[in-house]
């Protein structure tokens, strides 16, 4: 068989060859950003964009590929944040190790939650994830001490300053944090790309496409969705740890509230769920929008930024049901073809 | 000792209170094609789904080369070697042909041999190699059926079950598909095929069973069945 000599047809995945190259260029440009500006507010905003892109990518790893909407992912973020902070303040364990421990704990929690919940379909799954996340949040808000750890309920935890130290995840300026979250995002997207081309990716897409047919072929939906759920929870928890270390403060509302869960889902959906780069695009659009509307309108019209958020979501669902990435990609491919007619 | 590729005895199952299968006995010799025919609603698809573990059997047993596959979860049945290409193809429309085929090879044993099996499938259906990056939904009905058969082959079945592969295909495509199925048998595979296309399938099959009201009412070689007056009157209108 000379399969390799058969010419690729028009619908061959363009992203397959050019995608990684393009991603590398974007990554290098992003890495060069601090050379252009050192402005603290700007770097802070960039870190927030990357943070949300990372969280949305972690969410997408499960929900985008399985086609189930989770609105409870913030509980994993909270778990990662609390575990790493508590291990640091109680035992002086480096947050780098603490975030791994938090990630593993979140992965274990996801399996416990996922096993019964994945039998539920559509809105029932979503409602259950909200319920679990709210139970965890309300419990943390009302618990002062647990197993000897001082959680301090709704008050939250402050990470004590120990001075600049890599091991303690504390740095002088914001730029090191920028590079850390950029690296985490790059790894998360890489993990998604690898998963897409692996057995796990094929099986998840099959389950999303037609659950009954997948089962008839002998694919066990529970096994593959749980694997993806655990990886997604692990990644989310790492993000939650980062958030806690970056602000040196953590509380149930910010680190495991419903708003964070919704943000993760919205950015994925608007960018393009089930694609490796969609969540990044979604975060690039929505995070600045949220910052600007909150900054300029939040003071005078309380809650207006949420209204604008909602309108953007409606427009996206109406006009770009598969997310913004796909039409953008088609546009780019179209321009490329016009300049290089085959 | 001789072991049948597939042996089913006294299989009963159904949905809720409704019994669809009421004691089915069936046997497949290794390397043969066995046709299962019957009217709509006779229970043909339910039989496949019961063997596959998608519908729970109430009683009876099923064995693959002497090993029980009775009561196993669907993915265990596939791992054991009973793989079906479901009725109506059930392709994953938004995935490419290559991805559809790869989904078939998800068990550990099949995954390790996936590239070799893929070459074999492409050899059997060259058009699939040509179009491997195309979405499954863009194919013609006949080509989609090829993907469905190829996807089942990717799982390295010992017994391949085809549920109405000719459904909705043009006569010329049916001929080609049957040729390919005959070729698959040469790979020392046993095939259980459900068909409405009674005349054509009995000409090709080594043996046939007729399912009526959830029970086997008639069985025999393809030629015997084609000569049977009851079968001719009921299914061929002769």
> What residue ranges do the domains of chain A occupy?
38-257
Expressed as residue numbers, the domain containing B195 is 6-236
Residue B12 CB neighbours (<10 A):
17
Residue B49 has pLDDT above 80, yes or no: yes
Which of B89, B103, B157 is the best residue to mutate to test the A interface, defined by the most A CB atoms within 10 Å of its own CB?
B103
pLDDT in tens, A54-81: 999 999 998 888 888 888 899 999 999 9
Q: What is the mean pLDDT of residues B199-224?
A: 89
Residue A12: which pLDDT band, with cuts at 50, 70 and 90?
Answer: very low
Residue A5: which pLDDT band, with cuts at 50, 70 and 90?
Answer: very low
**Domain for residue B206, yes or no?**
yes
Written as six digits, the tokens of B54 are 């998608």
Q: Please report the pLDDT score of residue A43 as a whole number.
A: 83
Taking the CA of residue A220 and the nearest CA in chain B, the distance in Å comes to 6
* Residues above pLDDT 90, as percent of chain B: 20
Residue A36 has pLDDT above 50, yes or no: yes
Q: Please report the pLDDT score of residue A8 as a whole number.
A: 38
pLDDT in tens, B120-164: 899 889 888 888 898 888 888 888 888 999 999 999 999 999 998
Alpha helices in chain B (DSSP H): 44-52, 74-80, 97-104, 108-112, 114-124, 126-130, 141-153, 171-185, 198-204, 222-227, 229-231
Residue B36 has pLDDT above 90, yes or no: yes
Instruction: Report the complex ipTM.
Output: 0.71
Give dist(CA A239, CA A55) in Å, integer: 6
Q: Which residue has the tokens 């290794």?
A: B30
More confident site: A235 or A311: A235
Among chain B residues, CA nearest to A203: B103
pLDDT in tens, A75-114: 999 999 999 988 888 887 888 888 999 899 999 999 988 8
Chain A hits for B79, CB-CB cut-off 8 Å, are: 218
Give dist(CA A69, CA A209) in Å, integer: 15
When CB atoms are compared, the residue of B74, B96, B152 closest to A215 is: B74
pLDDT in tens, A144-195: 777 767 777 777 788 877 777 777 777 778 888 888 999 999 899 889 988 8
When CB atoms are compared, the residue of B103, B130, B138 closest to A206 is: B103
Among chain B residues, CA nearest to A198: B102
Mean pLDDT for chain A?
81
Residue A242 has pLDDT above 90, yes or no: yes
Residue B110 has pLDDT above 80, yes or no: yes
Residue A14 has pLDDT above 80, yes or no: no
Number of domains in chain B: 1
CA dihedral B148, B150, B151, B153 (to 10 degrees): 130
Q: What is the mean pLDDT of residues B1-6?
A: 84
Mean pLDDT for chain B?
88
Q: Please report the pLDDT score of residue A236 as a whole number.
A: 95
Q: Please report the pLDDT score of residue A340 as a whole number.
A: 61
More confident site: A14 or A196: A196
Q: What is the mean pLDDT of residues A114-139?
A: 84
Contact A9 B134 (CB under 8 A): yes
Q: Is B2 exposed, middle or buried (0-12, 13-18, 19+ CB in 10 A)?
A: exposed
Q: Please report the pLDDT score of residue A299 as a whole number.
A: 64
Chain A hits for B76, CB-CB cut-off 8 Å, are: 218
**Domain for residue B1, yes or no?**
no
- Among B residues 129-148, those touching chain A with beta carbons less than 8 Å apart: 129-131, 133-135, 138
The C-alpha angle B207, B211, B217, rounded to 5 degrees, equals: 85
Give dist(CA B40, CA B194) in Å, integer: 11
Q: Please report the pLDDT score of residue B150 as a whole number.
A: 92
Residue A234 has pLDDT above 90, yes or no: yes
More confident site: A262 or A143: A262
Residue A341 has pLDDT above 70, yes or no: no
Residue A189 CB neighbours (<10 A):
21
Residue A209 has pLDDT above 90, yes or no: no
Residue A279 CB neighbours (<10 A):
35
More confident site: A173 or B178: B178
Residue B229 has pLDDT above 90, yes or no: no
Give dist(CA A334, CA A222) in Å, integer: 40
Residue B82: which pLDDT band, with cuts at 50, 70 and 90?
Answer: very high
Q: Please report the pLDDT score of residue A24 as a whole number.
A: 78
Q: Please report the pLDDT score of residue B222 as a whole number.
A: 86
Contact B102 A199 (CB under 8 A): yes
Residue B193 has pLDDT above 90, yes or no: yes
**Domain for residue B120, yes or no?**
yes
Is the distance from CB of A95 to CB of A245 less than 8 angstroms?
yes
Q: What is the mean pLDDT of residues A24-42?
A: 79
pLDDT in tens, A277-295: 888 888 888 888 777 777 7
Residue A120 CB neighbours (<10 A):
14
* Residues above pLDDT 70, as percent of chain A: 89
Question: Of A237, A232, A264, A265, which is closest to residue A58 (Cα–Cα)?
Answer: A232
CATH number for B31: 3.40.50.300
């Amino acid at each position: 068989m000379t399969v390799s000599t058969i010419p690729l047809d028009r619908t061959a995945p363009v992203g397959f060859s050019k995608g990684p190259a393009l991603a590398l260029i974007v990554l290098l440009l992003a890495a060069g950003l601090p050379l252009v500006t050192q402005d603290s507010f700007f770097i802070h905003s960039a870190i927030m964009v990357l943070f949300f892109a990372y969280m949305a990518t972690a969410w997408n790893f499960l929900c985008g590929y399985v086609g189930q909407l989770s609105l409870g992912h913030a509980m994993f973020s909270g778990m990662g944040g609390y575990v790493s902070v508590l291990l640091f303040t109680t035992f002086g364990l480096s947050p780098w190790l603490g975030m791994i421990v938090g990630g593993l704990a979140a992965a274990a929690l996801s399996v416990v939650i996922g096993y019964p919940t994945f039998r539920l379909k559509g809105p029932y799954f979503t409602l259950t994830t909200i319920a679990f996340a709210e139970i965890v949040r309300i419990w943390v808000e009302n618990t002062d001490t647990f197993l000897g750890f001082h959680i301090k309920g709704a008050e939250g935890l402050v990470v004590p300053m120990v001075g600049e130290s890599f091991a303690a995840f504390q740095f002088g300026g914001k730029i090191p944090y920028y590079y850390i979250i950029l690296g985490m995002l790059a790894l998360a997207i890489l993990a998604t790309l690898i998963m897409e081309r692996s057995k796990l990716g094929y099986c998840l897409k099959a389950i999303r496409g037609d659950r009954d047919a997948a089962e008839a072929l002998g694919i066990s939906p529970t096994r593959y969705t749980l694997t993806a759920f655990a990886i997604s929870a692990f990644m989310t928890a790492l993000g939650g740890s980062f958030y806690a270390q970056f602000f040196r403060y953590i509380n149930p509302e910010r680190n495991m509230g419903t708003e964070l869960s919704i943000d993760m889902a919205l950015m994925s959906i608007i960018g393009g769920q089930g694609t490796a780069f969609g969540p990044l695009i979604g975060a690039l659009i929505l995070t600045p929008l949220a910052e600007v509307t909150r900054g300029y309108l939040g003071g005078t019209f309380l809650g207006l930024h949420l209204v604008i958020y909602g309108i953007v979501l409606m427009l996206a669902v109406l006009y770009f049901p598969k997310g913004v990435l796909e039409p953008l990609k088609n546009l780019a491919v179209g321009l490329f073809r016009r300049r290089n007619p085959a | 000792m001789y072991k049948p590729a597939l042996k089913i005895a006294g299989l009963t199952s159904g949905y809720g209170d409704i019994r669809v299968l009421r004691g089915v006995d069936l046997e497949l010799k290794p390397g043969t094609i066995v046709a299962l025919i019957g009217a709509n609603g006779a229970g043909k698809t339910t039989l496949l789904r019961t063997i596959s573990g998608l519908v729970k059997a109430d009683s009876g047993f099923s064995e693959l080369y002497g090993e029980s596959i009775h009561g196993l979860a669907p993915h265990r049945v596939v791992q054991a070697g009973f793989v079906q290409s479901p009725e109506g193809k059930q392709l994953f429309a938004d995935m490419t042909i290559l991805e559809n085929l790869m989904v078939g090879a998800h068990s550990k044993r099949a995954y390790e041999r996936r590239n070799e099996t893929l070459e074999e499938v492409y050899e059997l259906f060259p058009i699939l190699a040509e179009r491997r990056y195309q979405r499954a939904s863009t194919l013609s009905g006949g080509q989609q059926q090829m993907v469905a058969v190829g996807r089942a082959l990717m799982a390295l079945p010992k017994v391949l079950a085809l549920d109405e592969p000719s459904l909705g295909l043009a006569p010329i495509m049916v001929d080609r598909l049957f040729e390919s199925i005959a070729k698959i048998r040469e790979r020392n595979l046993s095939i259980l095929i459900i068909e409405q296309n009674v005349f054509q399938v009995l000409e090709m099959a080594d043996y046939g069973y007729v399912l009526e009201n959830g029970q086997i009412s008639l069985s025999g070689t393809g030629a015997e069945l084609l000569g049977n007056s009851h079968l001719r009157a009921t299914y061929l209108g002769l």
